Amino acid sequence: MSIRTGIYGYGNLGRGVEAAVHGAPDMELAAVFTRRDPGSVRIRTENVPVLPASQAPEMAGEIDVMILCGGSATDLPRQTPEMAKYFHVIDSFDTHACIPEHFAAVDRAARASGHVAVISVGWDPGLFSLNRLIGASVLPDGRDYTFWGKGVSQGHSDAVRRIEGVLDARQYTIPVPEALSAVREGKEPELTTREKHTREVYVVAEEGADRARIEREIKEMPHYFDEFDTTVRFITAEEMRRDHSGLPHGGSVIRSGRTGAEGENRHLIEFSLHLDSNPEFTGSVLTAYARAAYRLGTEGMSGCRTVFDVALAYLSPLDGDTLRHTML
């Protein structure tokens, strides 16, 4: 039987999930839920209903796992615990500082209803987190570095778009080249957040909006921008379409460490991504973890998990014997 998958929220990420579910041999799209007028939403998959978000609870018997595709700022803290009452759930909650609180809320809901939730799935948090954990566990005498970009951060662009007077926004995260080189050379530099990345924001503002206020609100936004050197540029809607329509991203997690009696041997572990489309790649990761959540659920598990708690075999549609034959 195919894993019946729901998508809750149909923006860039929702479309990325849709494409990934389409490519999964053991999953099928059961429904898309939206807070917009369902009649106005065209999805790629044929013969799949687009339903109002409010109707999701009624689909409890017809969907195995719900992939939440809303934003971390205001959507997911409310939606993930709510949907965990009815389905196994997956989200991409990425406000690092608030993860423990979100985990606790989702865990309560999922345990009470007997569902499995996996939160903070994607590449960071997600695959990058796995690599930070591997690096620290294998090379405890060492130091790790995460670099993002150059690329568009959806979470940060979304946060800027919520500011009054902003019509559209695109935020690029850019590693500082000197910092990246020093780390790759094994120099283990001490780097502040500010020394590792710069942020560049392109904003289309409403006519007559107070640009100085918008710029200030961006630069002072906690967690998102306050610890970075941020450049804000106001552009036209036409320039936005022409120059900033893609959503590329990427980055690297690097662990630089030492082993041996005197720490005389040096090692470098690097995990890096080069992505043409961040939402499609993130959607692909969410979809693999949706498979995992469903399979953990069929084994009788319940409660909230993160990528740390899910054995990677659960991500694959192949059985253990095939995995050992082909990938070990």
Residues that bind its own copies (CB under 8 A): 16, 19-20, 23-25, 44, 96, 99-100, 103, 120, 125, 127, 129-134, 136-141, 259-261, 264-277, 280-281, 283-285, 288, 291, 306-313, 315-317, 320-321, 323-325, 327-328
C-alpha to C-alpha distance for 48 and 46, rounded to whole angstroms: 6
Q: How far is the CB of 305 from its own copies (least distance, A)?
A: 8
| Cβ-based nearer residue to its own copies, 44 or 233 | 44
| Cβ-based nearer residue to its own copies, 37 or 42 | 42
Q: How far is the CB of 249 from its own copies (least distance, A)?
A: 10
Longest dimension (CA), the chain: 67
Q: How far is the CB of 153 from its own copies (least distance, A)?
A: 17
| Cβ-based nearer residue to its own copies, 129 or 230 | 129
**Number of helices (H) and strands (E), helices first, in the chain?**
11, 14
Q: Do 215 and 184 form a contact (C-beta atoms < 8 A)?
A: no
C-alpha to C-alpha distance for 127 and 311, rounded to whole angstroms: 13
Single-letter amino acid code for the residue at 11? G
Q: Do 103 and 216 form a contact (C-beta atoms < 8 A)?
A: no
Q: Which of these, 320, 324, 309, lies nearest to 117 by C-alpha position?
A: 309
| Cβ-based nearer residue to its own copies, 236 or 298 | 298
| Cβ-based nearer residue to its own copies, 10 or 271 | 271
How would you label 118-134 residue by residue, b for 16+ Cβ within 10 Å and e otherwise? bbbbbbbbbbbbbbbee
| Cβ-based nearer residue to its own copies, 10 or 103 | 103
Upstream peptide bond of 125 is cis (omega within 30 degrees of 0): yes
Q: How far is the CB of 159 from its own copies (least distance, A)?
A: 19
Q: How far is the CB of 239 from its own copies (least distance, A)?
A: 23
Q: How far is the CB of 126 from its own copies (least distance, A)?
A: 9
Residue whose entry in the numeric block shows the structure tokens 């990528």: 307
